[in-house]
């Protein structure tokens, strides 16, 4: 991680020095490098880094498992698009700790380690504007699509990108998030057997979206006035622009209004977005809850700032202290999740599987190990299997380079030990 930050500083220093000299009429790159020992050293470091990356890529390629013949013409309900990944010529690595390429890295892990062919993944479509307006106010969506795209997105994503042109923001941030939102909607349909993926009676019904989980995005009617915009900027918050969790559930309700849904949110931060959204009467049918929320989160974390206002909307709330470790965390989960499932008896579980609970995560402030996260995911899926509940997993937050490795290994573990579609 430290080396990657040094590499970024070196690269941008190199670009800066070159740009300040290139305006001269007598500019010569060869002469510039020769006359500037520091620039020569920087160039050497960058060249060595590219060479190392090339060698590492060849080694990784040589270790890949061959594509499995038994999956060649078979679809697995794992949803992914290369369009999920965000790229700003490397600038994103400096602006925010979020690994904007982690989705690709998870996908590549499953191909390299398990031999899953790329054709076995489901690829989502970008969610439509009309669908987004099911859960968001039209003014908010139109502001993102038009004049205030850069300013509003910068505020929600909490990174200084408001200076960029609107079309760059729409293509590099909003489009990936629309695709991931479409992925969550598709994943819910697949898990329920509403899409092209058909289940046998004895099958465990499941799906995984390698993305999504924007649990800080709220939706219609949830206004907290910050006085900056005429529309509600708080519909999006904390790098969460679109309410994919709410939308996936609303789309399921269009097929079955009686469907009972349990959101199991195990991201390190409280899921204030879906909790605020489902606090309204729209989440009820004939006076009865259609959604209940099971949320374990770092209660001492400052974010989200309005968590006290949404605490009342969590039916199964478990606040954790800073530094909570594996044993205590897993005991709370194993003691309470089965009880919650038995009491509510949901028809569908939407599992928000954030990896920011990882012990080295800079934002989650919990101390759950790599192994502990894999055990957590396995337990949640085992409960869905035990109680015969369709389940969709979305990957949510996670702000270290290890996050993609953990997710990849956890999905690998689920496919082998719980779902058992891979030997």
- How far is the first Cα of the chain from the last one, in angstroms, to the nearest whole number? 33
Cβ burial, residue 225 (10 Å; 0-12/13-18/19+): exposed
Report the distance separating Cα 100 and Cα 376, nearest Å. Answer: 24
Nearest to 215 by CA among 264, 282, 281: 264
- The tokens of 91 are what? 């600038």
Give Dmax over CA atoms of the chain in angstroms: 79
Report strand pairing: 348-352 vs 391-394.
parallel
Rounded distance, CA 219 to CA 159, Å?
Answer: 22
State the pairing for strand pair 316-320/291-298.
parallel
Task: Kindly report the backbone phi and psi dihedral angles of residue 302, in degrees, each rounded to the nearest multiple of 5, phi listed first.
Answer: -70, -20
Contact 274, 263 (CB under 8 A): yes
Distance CA 372, CA 368 (A): 6
Question: Residue 139: CB partners within 8 Å, gap ≥ 6?
Answer: 230, 231, 232
Q: Report the relative pairing of strands 261-265 and 348-352 from DSSP bridges.
A: parallel
Residues marked as catalytic: 216
In terms of C-beta density within 10 A (0-12 exposed, 13-18 middle, 19 or more buried), how is residue 281 classed? exposed
Contact (Cβ atoms closer than 8 angstroms) between residue 39 and residue 33? yes
Do the beta carbons of residue 358 and residue 373 sit within 8 Å? yes
Closest Cα partner for 217 from 299, 135, 326, 145?
135
Which uninterrupted H or E stretch holds 275? helix 272-277
Unique residue bearing structure tokens 């499953």 = 110
Query: What is the Cα–Cα distance from 307 to 320, expressed in whole angstroms?
Result: 13
User: CA–CA separation, 420 vs 423, rounded Å?
Assistant: 7
Q: Which of 110, 82, 87 is nearest to 100 (CA)?
A: 87
């Amino acid at each position: 991680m430290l080396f990657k930050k040094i590499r970024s500083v070196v690269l941008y220093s190199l670009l800066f020095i070159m740009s300040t000299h290139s305006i001269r009429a007598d500019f010569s790159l060869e002469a510039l490098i020769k006359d500037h020992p520091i620039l020569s050293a920087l160039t050497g470091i960058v060249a060595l880094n590219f060479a190392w990356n090339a060698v590492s890529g060849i080694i990784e390629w040589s270790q890949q498992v061959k594509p499995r013949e038994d999956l060649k013409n078979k679809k697995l309900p794992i949803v992914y698009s290369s369009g999920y990944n965000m790229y700003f010529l490397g600038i994103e690595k400096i602006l925010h700790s979020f690994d904007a390429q982690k989705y690709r890295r998870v996908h590549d892990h499953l191909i390299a380690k398990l031999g899953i062919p790329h054709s076995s993944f489901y690829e989502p479509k970008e969610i439509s504007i009309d669908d987004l307006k099911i859960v968001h106010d039209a003014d908010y969506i139109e502001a993102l699509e038009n004049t205030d795209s850069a300013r509003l997105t910068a505020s929600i994503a909490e990174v200084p990108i408001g200076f960029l042109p609107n079309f760059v923001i729409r293509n590099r941030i909003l489009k990936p998030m629309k695709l991931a939102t479409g992925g969550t909607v598709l994943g819910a349909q697949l898990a329920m057997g509403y899409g092209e993926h058909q289940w046998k009676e004895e099958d465990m019904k499941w799906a995984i979206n390698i993305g999504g989980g924007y649990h800080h995005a709220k939706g219609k009617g949830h206004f907290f006035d910050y006085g900056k915009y005429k529309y509600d900027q708080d519909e999006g918050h904390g790098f969460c622009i679109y309410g994919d969790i709410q939308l996936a559930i609303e789309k399921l309700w269009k097929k079955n209004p009686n469907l009972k849904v349990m959101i199991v949110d195990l991201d390190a931060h409280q899921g204030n977005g879906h909790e605020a959204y489902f606090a309204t009467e729209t989440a009820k049918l004939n006076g009865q809850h259609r959604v209940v929320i099971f949320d374990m989160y770092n209660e001492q974390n400052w974010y989200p700032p309005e968590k006290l206002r949404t605490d009342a909307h969590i039916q199964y709330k478990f606040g954790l202290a800073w530094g909570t470790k594996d044993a205590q965390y897993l005991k709370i989960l194993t003691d309470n999740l089965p009880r919650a499932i038995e009491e509510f008896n949901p028809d569908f579980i939407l599992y928000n599987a954030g990896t920011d609970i990882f012990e080295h995560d800079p934002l989650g402030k919990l101390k759950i190990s790599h192994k502990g996260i894999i055990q957590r995911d396995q337990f949640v899926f085992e409960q869905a299997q035990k109680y015969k509940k369709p389940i969709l997993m979305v990957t949510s937050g996670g702000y270290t380079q290890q996050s993609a490795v953990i997710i990849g290994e956890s999905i690998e573990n689920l496919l082998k030990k719980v779902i058992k579609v891979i030997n």
